[in-house]
Structure 1
């Protein structure tokens, strides 16, 4: 029934990077055939425990060890699922292609879903084939009043082209990263309150600023746009926070 399909799949594997570069030019090998789509989707079950491709699944998850098992999409949660970068419902021929299977966390896997923009061609960043911009574009805004407020935003750099920045915006929107990073930042600051207090008591505002700058540099080893890097850069530059305003962390809930 599927004469020639094997050759077509091999060709599709060879075209994978071309599809990533311009998805608008490509349609699925199974386009228009529900029977072929179902057959190709069924291959994914071969990665389950006790099935012929179980070792492939284990091998893919081992690649996450180089990232300390952190999700490449949010840089926070532990990986626990395989995401089809090109969704298998749109491109079932890639349902078991290792290059298309990215270990991610449950949250990002759920939110990304079947995201596959064939209209403007803007795809999210692929953990294997794309490099997230290394220019500072993720900013954290700190406001110290009766509370300590944290807001994340993106700042367009002249070094980044429109298409790349559009992909960044798409990724943050689909994954709800602004709100997610805000919640993570609140937890981070709460956990570190004793460090701020001890540093300020012994070294004053300049000592606290130096400590926060050091924490920013440490986070930047992962990425200049890591949410912790943006947070600590902003804190180190905030005069009110470094001159004792950090105590508002204890006084009131943060936003």
Structure 2
């Protein structure tokens, strides 16, 4: 979970270029919807990040179809926009989960319900295929006005610690358990928003599984730190150094930083217990 910068592009020009590149009659339908679409763009920016209760633009069914078609059947301007959104170094890693490569574009407000935002750059979030599939068309939680997912382009991720992981070794197995906690001073609504995002994207289990894979790759470094002298303190130092590096780049709630710090505090893991993580990482 992290924030990403908006793409520096004129959304009006993008819409006009894509509309011009479409064939008739969709070109004419997009141009006829232009005023309402641009008004909707302004409303989105004014409301962001709380865009979950925006009124839908009053477009005809044919106009809606034309704008959706502009995203799904790409013209050269849409292909350029997709590349510009996805190929930035700042979005290489999925902002929804922080695990996988950003390889798709998610419509934060779904294009089926809000076709006016189908080619709106600020509504197109680079993300991984897993998060895109899990997010689907979700906007607001059932019976609430709390958005189910963070908007990486507008929501500010709190600096206070809210992600935690418990680690223990039982019967030659490492147990990892990620969860969210509400720190003192965090507004309840903020925590509910974070928790919904965390739960809906199944991040607890995804962090757990990817944690084992990561530890398998880290094993040689831990083995060297432990050495023939079986230096558990050096293993803990190695993990803390790694956590600090992750925190400097990705913030205090980055899932790997939390894992490293938790393992550094686990005496059993540092004193040779990392051997079990190696075994669990293997297929």
Per the normalisation by structure 2, the TM-score is: 0.80
| Conserved? CA contact 1:61–1:103, under 8 Å | yes
2:144 corresponds to: 120
Q: Which of 39, 47, 66 is equivalent to 2:66?
A: 39
Per the normalisation by structure 1, the TM-score is: 0.88
Q: How many residues align?
A: 249
Change (3 A) 1:93 1:250: closer
Partner deviation per Cα, 1:189-209 (whole Å, 9 max, x = no partner): 122222222211257111111
1:176 corresponds to: 202
SS at match of 1:150: strand
Let me know the Cα RMSD of the aligned residues: 2.4
1:127: Cα distance to partner? 1.6
2:7 corresponds to: none
Report whether the alignment pairs 1:138 with 2:163: yes
1:42-81 mapped onto 2 (5 Å cutoff): 42-45=69-72, 48=74, 50-63=75-88, 65-67=89-91, 69-81=92-104
More displaced 10-residue stretch of structure 1: 178-187 or 8-17: 8-17
1:1-255 mapped onto 2 (5 Å cutoff): 5-23=33-51, 25-30=53-58, 33-45=60-72, 48=74, 50-63=75-88, 65-67=89-91, 69-117=92-140, 119-123=143-147, 124-146=149-171, 147-201=173-227, 202=229, 204-220=231-247, 221-250=249-278
| Conserved? CA contact 2:216–2:281, under 8 Å | no
Mapped to 1, the partners of 2:218 and 2:50 lie a distance apart of 45
Where in structure 1 do 4 or more consecutive aligned residues deviate above 4 Å?
Answer: 1-4, 250-254
1:250: Cα distance to partner? 4.8
Partner deviation per Cα, 1:98-152 (whole Å, 9 max, x = no partner): 0111111111111111111175232221121112222111111101122111111
